[in-house]
Structure 1
Amino acid sequence: MHIAEGFLPPAHAIGWTLAAAPFVAHGARAVVREVREHPESTLLLGAAGAFTFVLSAVKLPSVTGSSSHPTGTGAGAVLFRPPVMALLGTVVLLFQALLLAHGGLTTLGANAFSMAVVGPWVGYGAYRLTRRLGGGLLPGVFAAMALADLATYVTTALQLAWAHPDAATGFPGAAAKFLGVFALTQVPLAVGEGLLGVLLFRALLANARPDLERLGVVAPQPEEAR
């Protein structure tokens, strides 16, 4: 999902930056409000950002000749809702571009739109739908993590197809090619990320349940069960 520096025409780079900017600005306000109203959330916010940074920095070779990464944004979306992840994910991508040469500065808007905007919203939507259909917390987390990952890569593939249409078949042909580059590696990687999310939330249930209750992720336990 890290589109490298120079891979997008200037008009596309500017357009995606303008598209992502309102989400990031809204996310900044959401983070400020969360920290002001609940200072105890600061540590968990930092952990959500660090989790995204570490997972999305893991570079795995693809059998199609490219590389793939987990994203980690689904976890933060479940904990703090997608607007917060718009800011955290963009900050992560900025540091990765500057420190790790993953992605670029001119492509930051496009990468932020796919990983920090689309991914968290799709993941959170999958989480809410799973819970509404009777699934528990952990199935919801699995759906959030897996589909946030997949949605990010689908968006990236479409961004690249729009910027580099196939000479003969245009956007549809290019989209099929770019989606094919990611699909073989990304589907099992998304499943693995979903399972990792289940393990993460098991640990949070055991060690940070009061935080999960405060954030509305789980219902408060009856006093006699505490």
Structure 2
Amino acid sequence: MDLPIGEYLQGWNPAAPPTGARLTGRTASLRRLTSDDARPLFARLHSAKAPQDWLYMPVGPFTSEAEFTDWCTSVAAVDDPLFYAMVAGENDTPFGFCSLMNIKPEGGSIEIGFVMVAPQYQKSTAFTEAMYLMARHAFDLGYRRYEWKCDALNHRSRRAAHRLGFSYEGLFRQAVVIKGRNRDTKWFSIIDSEWPELDKLYARWLDPANFDERGQQNLSLSRLTAPHIAQRDPDLPPE
């Protein structure tokens, strides 16, 4: 009896682990997070909006700069999750952090997670370019699958996933316990066959010609990526 079997990956080689090397774009860069980033990040991330912004994160908000510094020092010492500081332009002061995590070179999958951005940068070109640089880096390293996962109640994160070109894959019920609460997790991904076209769309969106003299976009990234999303989140409420 012939049974179905997965496609043979001719010439497949495991992906390379990320090293934390600096990733540089026109409006943003990423570099490995260090304990020295704790002070500027604490000031930017623990604003009046902190409870809302940290609500779905597995850590924080932190009660003091010292506590946040201890956390930054601890995560900066590990390679999975591999934490990066996001910085804007030539200014090396971080406006947020993120990580590459669940790094599986043998299977070719990697996840972007722990994404935390200062309020004034949440809808910025710099933040979007930082997310682009991370995705491009993952596929340049040879990964076949780039994942985005979030709390099913985190509508902002789910919308961001689609804006960035991730396709919806499903709901994992009672996936984890975060801060003593149940979390159902939504899964999204970009796979390597989808990336070349998305790469072009990011380049088109990031082109300075797409922005007016006030820095306002002429064509939204959501509009560009929408036709290339394999499946949309079926119960995502409108904004």
Question: Whose strand fraction is larger, Structure 1's or Structure 2's?
Answer: 2
Determine which structure has the larger helix proportion and give its number: 1
- Same structural fold, with TM-score higher than 0.5 when normalized by the shorter chain: no
Question: Could you say which structure has the greater relative contact order, defined with CA pairs below 8 angstroms and 6 or more residues apart?
Answer: 1
Please, what TM-score do these two structures have when normalized by structure 2? 0.28
